[in-house]
Structure 1
Amino acid sequence: MTIRSTDAVRSGVYFVPSSYTGAQKVPVVFDFHGSNSNPTGQLIRSSWDKVAEREGFIVVALQGSLTGKLSGTHAWNVPYVTTQTGGLDEIGFIKSALGQVKQEFCVDPSRIYASGYSGGGRMLSAYICGGNDDFAAAGFVHSLRAGRPVQIEGTWGPDTEGCKPAKPVSIMAFAGEKDTANPYTGGGKPYWQYGFKAAVKRWTELDGCTGNGKTETIGGITYSLHDTCKAGARIASYVFANGTHDWPRPSATEKVIAAAAETEAGVVKVSSARKPSFDPNIDPASRMWEFFRKADSTDVIATAAPAKGKSGTAVASDCPAGAELQGTTCSSSRTVDMRHSAQGGRGAL
Structure 2
Amino acid sequence: MVPGRAKRGFVRRSARSVLSGRLSAAFAAVGLAVVLGGVPAQAESQVDHPVPSTGCGKSTVPGASETRTIVSGGITRSYLVHVPENYRKFEPTPVVLSFHGHKRTSEYQEELSGFSATDAIAVYPQGLVGTDGETAWQGAPYSAAADDVLFTGDLLDQLERDFCVAPKRIYAAGKSNGGGFTGVLACRMSDRIAAFAPVSGAFYPQGGECEPERSAPILDFHGTDDQTIPYPGNPEKGLPPIPEWLAGWADRNDCDETPIVRDEGNGVQVSEWVGCDRRSNVVHYRIEGLGHDWPSTQPNPDSDQPAVIDATPIIMQFFAEHRLR
Give the TM-score of the pair, scaled to structure 1: 0.66
Is the contact between residue 295 and residue 308 of structure 2 (CA under 8 Å) also seen in structure 1? Answer: no
**Equivalent in the alignment of 1:77:** 138
**Equivalent in the alignment of 1:198:** 244
Is the contact between residue 65 and residue 77 of structure 1 (CA under 8 Å) also seen in structure 2? Answer: no
Output one character per residue of 1:192-242: Cα deviation in whole Å (capped at 9) or x when no partner. Answer: 2x1100000100001000141211121211111112101111111101111
Alpha-carbon distance change, 240 to 281 in structure 1, aligned in 2, over 3 angstroms: closer
Query: Which structure 1 residue ranges, 4+ long, deviate > 4 Å from structure 2?
Result: 67-70
Is the contact between residue 24 and residue 106 of structure 1 (CA under 8 Å) also seen in structure 2? Answer: yes
Output one character per residue of 1:123-158: Cα deviation in whole Å (capped at 9) or x when no partner. Answer: 12112223552210010101063x727xxxxxxxxx
Q: Quote the sequence identity (%).
A: 27
Taking the aligned partners of 1:129 and 1:37, their CA distance within structure 2 comes to: 24
Residue identity in the other structure for 2:317: E
Taking the aligned partners of 1:283 and 1:58, their CA distance within structure 2 comes to: 20
Give the TM-score of the pair, scaled to structure 2: 0.71
Residue identity in the other structure for 2:254: G
Taking the aligned partners of 1:200 and 1:183, their CA distance within structure 2 comes to: 14
Instruction: Quote how far apart the aligned CAs of 1:282 are.
Output: 4.7
Taking the aligned partners of 2:178 and 2:321, their CA distance within structure 1 comes to: 24
Name the SS of the counterpart of 1:120 in structure 2. Answer: helix
**Equivalent in the alignment of 1:46:** 113
**Equivalent in the alignment of 1:32:** 99
Residue identity in the other structure for 1:245: H
Q: With CA pairs under 8 Å and 6+ residues apart, which has the higher RCO, 1 or 2?
A: 1
Is the contact between residue 182 and residue 188 of structure 1 (CA under 8 Å) also seen in structure 2? Answer: no
| Structure with more strand by fraction | 1
Residue identity in the other structure for 1:170: P
Taking the aligned partners of 1:132 and 1:95, their CA distance within structure 2 comes to: 12
Alpha-carbon distance change, 115 to 232 in structure 1, aligned in 2, over 3 angstroms: same
Residue identity in the other structure for 2:319: F
Output one character per residue of 1:285-328: Cα deviation in whole Å (capped at 9) or x when no partner. Answer: 11010011137xxxxxxxxxxxxxx9x9xxxxxxxxxxxxxxxx
- Aligned equivalent of 1:175, options 211, 216, 222: 222
**Equivalent in the alignment of 2:41:** none
Residue identity in the other structure for 1:240: I
- Aligned equivalent of 2:127, options 49, 57, 64: 64
**Equivalent in the alignment of 2:318:** 291
Residue identity in the other structure for 1:82: P
Instruction: Quote how far apart the aligned CAs of 1:68 are.
Output: 8.9
- Aligned equivalent of 1:212, options 223, 238, 258: 258
| Structure with more helix by fraction | 2
Is the contact between residue 275 and residue 281 of structure 2 (CA under 8 Å) also seen in structure 1? Answer: yes
Instruction: Quote how far apart the aligned CAs of 1:83 are.
Output: 5.2
Structure 1: unaligned runs, 5 residues or longer: 150-158, 253-279, 296-309, 313-349
Is the contact between residue 224 and residue 238 of structure 1 (CA under 8 Å) also seen in structure 2? Answer: yes
Alpha-carbon distance change, 164 to 119 in structure 1, aligned in 2, over 3 angstroms: same
Aligned residues: 249
